[in-house]
Amino acid sequence: MNKEYLLGDFLSYLSLERGLSENTSQAYRVDINKFYQFLDKRNINLENIKRDLISDYLWEEREKGRESSTVARNLVSIKMFFRFLNREGYVKDDPTEAMESPKLWQRLPAVLLVSEVESIFNIIEGDTPPLIRDKAMLEILYASGLRISELTGLKLVDVNLEVGFVKCRGKGGKERIVPMGKKAIDGVKKYLSLSRPRYLKTATDYLFLNRSGSKISRQSCWKIIKKYARLAGIKKIISPHTLRHSFATHLLERGADLRSVQEMLGHANISTTQIYTHIDREYLKQIHKKYHPRP
């Protein structure tokens, strides 16, 4: 079989039948070409590939220092490729069937201590419109575990300050309602009273605005989080989801059940939420080591 022809046919399938973007299709191309190079070094044909060989490839990539997320993405690309080849009759068996993502390599998300979260909020003190807005945004992120994209998409009608909940739209447009907490409610009230009117240029329903009066962007929110973490002296490498991860972990540490946290995070599958139980166990190990007389 001509491997280049098969790759071209696969990319056409992704574009025409699956409707994937050009950038996504090119990412698949890069991943499959890397896998081709691995096969060429060993003079192995696609028809002769077994599951163990794919596992060897993934381990080799990991040993090269590739990120766990990159290795997992490579597996997704290979699985998609062989599923296509099997469906079209190019290969008799799919060697990737039942292969799972390399969970052992999954890196736990960065999580802040409660004291570190408090240090961030303590840094954001003042009554200027940016400080009031920024603190309100971070209060909601930590109080409700929203994704940044969900935060920026909030509209005025999505926040109920009397009852104390926020309605957001997650992945796939699925709506969920999450409690806010008093500090977040107070922060939003202050923002609506003293800060948002200063940003408002033309009528808009979006809750959080930038200097031009438009909906604040995800990039701006991410920069804001990094700025205050740096000012608070936090050395950890944080991500746009750090406050979301911290929200989930701190709830579990204090006895919240996994199903409730799953619902608040908007995870379709509880297995996605279970990563935070690993973080919780790490926290317990640290406590045990610190306080047990014979650690």
CB 140 within 8 A of CB 151: yes
Instruction: Out of 50, 87, 171, 236, pick the active-site residue.
Output: 171
Annotated catalytic, 241? yes
Q: What is the CA radius of gyration of the chain?
A: 24
Annotated catalytic, 5? no
Annotated catalytic, 147? yes
Instruction: Out of 79, 244, 245, 250, pick the active-site residue.
Output: 244
Query: What is the Cα–Cα distance from 36 to 47, expressed in whole angstroms?
Result: 13
- Which strands, in side-by-side order, build the sheet including 165-169? 159-160, 165-169, 175-179
Instruction: Out of 28, 142, 199, 276, pick the active-site residue.
Output: 276
Instruction: Out of 79, 133, 147, 245, pick the active-site residue.
Output: 147
CB 14 within 8 A of CB 88: no
Q: Is 177 helix (H, G, I), strand (E, B) or coil?
A: strand
User: Angle, nearest 10°, between helix axes 68-87 and 51-63?
Assistant: 150
Q: Which amino acid is at 160?
A: N
Q: Which amino acid is at 265?
A: L
Query: What is the Cα–Cα distance from 1 to 262, expressed in whole angstroms?
Result: 46
DSSP tag of 254: T
Annotated catalytic, 245? no
CB 234 within 8 A of CB 120: yes
Among all residues, which ones are annotated catalytic? 147, 171, 241, 244, 267, 276
